[in-house]
Amino acid sequence: MKRPRPCLLISMAALLLGCERGELLGVIDTRGTLGGSFGTPQLVAAISDPNAVDTDPTFTGDLLELYFTSDRGGTRDIWRALRAAASDPWQAPTRVDEVSSDHREENPCVAHDGLTLWYYSDIDRARGTIWQSRRATRNDVWGTPIPVPELAVGEGSSNVAVDIDEDEHFAALASLSVGSDSYELYWFARDSADQPFGAATLLTSVNSSVNDYDPFFAQNGLFLAFHATLATGEDIFWTQRDSLLVDFPAPTLTPGLNSTANDSAPAFSSDLSYVMFSSTRSGNEEIYEAVRVP
């Protein structure tokens, strides 16, 4: 039996006074990477379409290229927005035609250097549900997509959301395996970015009795964020470990991001000071951003 989601976490660095849906009291800071809380999330107005579902943000390490899922074109496809500097507003988004089709494409993950794009597609589930496209430079169009069969959890599984860490050595995947009644998180490792990923490892200390989804993996496999589909809605959680040789501690709510609406699909900057995620707090699923307050 999988464990229920905890509501109280006591750590060496912070005594949490208690938690409820949408808010975590106290300070979370065991290694100086996610202390304090995030400021009030703001709608990313430049890419907003009140008549569309926009979700699953992912961005390059320099914060200049954003990819996300949108159905504004009629089906769920991958869209992109650019900007000249990290302090500038995003330009109007455009559909990434090279990786979009009449089928369903969603849950993109762009590499730190912007040269590889992973995403889910149902175009050919027999060959694999996670696909990737590459390009030689940031000015090139994306190449012909190919399936990534090793990013899967057994035959017949539903593998729908993947995230790759900055060095492309580690991956986290949300998958519904045969016989399971909820999506669970797994992680994979490889020695270099030009090799296939090894076997999946179930994140037993992280997964709950509900759907755990849309992972964000960073810091060489030591930091993990995701959202869980609770009875009251979706909330964003995080956890961090000291070594690849140990399990992640029990995850806890990410301070400042959650609300009484559905909050999901987080993506952080490398230093964890900036985050984008999707939320229905406006009444429609849109993309928000927030900056961490020390």
Q: Which residues contact 32 (CB under 8 A, 6 or more apart)?
A: none
Distances (CA, A) of 183 to 159, 176, 199, 228: 9, 4, 18, 9
Quick one: pLDDT at residue 264?
98
Q: Are 259 and 232 in contact (CB under 8 A)?
A: no
- All residue ranges of the chain with pLDDT < 70 are 1-35, 126-128
pLDDT tens digits for 20-79?
322 222 223 333 356 679 999 999 999 999 999 999 999 999 999 999 999 999 999 999
* Collapsed DSSP state (helix, strand, coil) of residue 237: strand
C-alpha closest to that of 141 among 80, 89, 61? 80
The 3-class SS string of 279-292 reads ECCCCCCEEEEEEE
Burial class from Cβ neighbours inside 10 Å (0-12, 13-18, 19+) for residue 191 reads exposed
User: What pLDDT is attached to residue 124?
Assistant: 80
| C-alpha–C-alpha distance, residues 185 and 269, integer Å | 21
H or E stretch including 151?
none
The domains located in the chain, with CATH, are 19-293 (2.120.10.30)
Helix ranges (H only) for the chain are: none
Query: Which DSSP string corresponds to 5-32?
Result: PPS--B-SS-B---EETTEE-S---SSS
**Exposure on the CB side of residue 223, measured as CA atoms within 13 A:** 20
Residue 230 is predicted with a pLDDT of: 87
Whether the Cβ atoms of residue 61 and residue 110 lie closer than 8 Å to each other = no
Six-digit token pair at 175? 């998958």
Quote the pLDDT of residue 127: 67
Cβ-count burial of 40 within 10 angstroms (0-12 exposed, 13-18 middle, 19+ buried)? exposed
Is residue 99 classed as helix, strand or coil in its secondary structure? Answer: helix
Q: What is the pLDDT of residue 6?
A: 36
Three-state DSSP state, 126: coil
